[in-house]
Amino acid sequence: MSSSQSAPAPAGRSSGEQAILDAAVRLFSKHGFDGVSMRTIAQEAGVSKSNIYHHFRSKEELYLAIMQSSAAWLSELVDTLAEGGGSFEHRLRAFARAHMEHLFAHAMTVRLLLREVFTGGEKWQRLLIDHVVGDIVRRLRAIFENGQAEGVLRSDLDPGLCAMQILGSNFFYFQSYGMMKFIPEVASARDRAQYSEAMADILLGGMLVAPATAERSS
């Protein structure tokens, strides 16, 4: 859990610069922008504070660089999420499971971006959505639209809304994972794969024992 989880190195980065980026990602994802000082980053990276300013104009620019490369990196990884074929149900289960693994495998980066997506300013939200979130939503939505075209998915459902259900379930699980062990009522959900499977069961088949094709009443 120590070395390799960070953004790519597109241009030739000096070892020092890379150390700075690694330390910054680690610290910012844990404590947020305001909770990390340049001195701490420098110390953690094993370089002088001045050296950071040699590579980055300001704290904001460093943060920006991290966010951008993280976003770009995650965006590429999203490509691997929904590459499979098979039935609608199989594709949806595969996507949900892959997305869940994806979140935990790159937890640091995800947490970093999540903070900005949920509490950041509009400009950041737009950027992140355009480059990361949008891709995921679009891909997932496509699965649901295909499902409707195949006649397998209920035609009265909004595909975008279905996508929200899957993503919401996964993101909430990801965010809650650390504290789930303190809630005995849901402690059984600590296994990711098991949870993902159960979630798909519910979303696909519903909760009711006698499925009356769910008439919608106000």
Partner DNA sequence: ATACTGACCGACCGGACGGTCAGTTTGCGA
Partner DNA sequence: TCGCAAACTGACCGTCCGGTCGGTCAGTAT
Q: Does 116 bind DNA (CB under 7 A)?
A: no
Q: Does 10 bind DNA (CB under 7 A)?
A: no
- Is the separation of the CB atoms in 211 and 173 below 8 Å? no
Q: Does 32 bind DNA (CB under 7 A)?
A: no
For CA atoms 90, 93, 145, 72, the dihedral sign is negative
- Out of 5, 38, 68, 72, point to the residue binding DNA (CB under 7 A): 38
Interaction pattern, residues 133-152, with DNA; x per rule: CB under 7 A: --------------------
- What DSSP character marks residue 133? I
Cα 177 to Cα 193: distance, rounded to the nearest angstrom: 13
Residues 6+ apart with CB under 8 A from 97: 193, 196, 197
Cα 167 to Cα 192: distance, rounded to the nearest angstrom: 14
Cα 108 to Cα 105: distance, rounded to the nearest angstrom: 9
Q: Does 214 bind a second copy (CB under 8 A)?
A: yes
Cβ of residue 46: shortest distance to a second copy, in angstroms? 24
- Is the separation of the CB atoms in 171 and 126 below 8 Å? no
Cα 85 to Cα 143: distance, rounded to the nearest angstrom: 10
Q: Does 194 bind DNA (CB under 7 A)?
A: no
Q: Please say which residue, 49 or 141, places its beta carbon nearer to a second copy.
A: 141
Q: Please say which residue, 8 or 168, places its beta carbon nearer to a second copy.
A: 168
Q: Please say which residue, 54 or 181, places its beta carbon nearer to a second copy.
A: 181
- Is the separation of the CB atoms in 153 and 88 below 8 Å? yes
Q: Does 123 bind a second copy (CB under 8 A)?
A: no
Q: Please say which residue, 51 or 148, places its beta carbon nearer to a second copy.
A: 148
Q: Does 149 bind a second copy (CB under 8 A)?
A: no
Cα 144 to Cα 153: distance, rounded to the nearest angstrom: 7
Residue 192 interacts with, from DNA, a second copy, none (CB under 5-8 Å by kind):
none
Using CB under 8 A, which residues numbered 40 to 69 contact a second copy? none
In the complex, which residues of this chain contact DNA (CB under 7 A)? Answer: 14-17, 36-40, 47-51, 53-55, 57-60
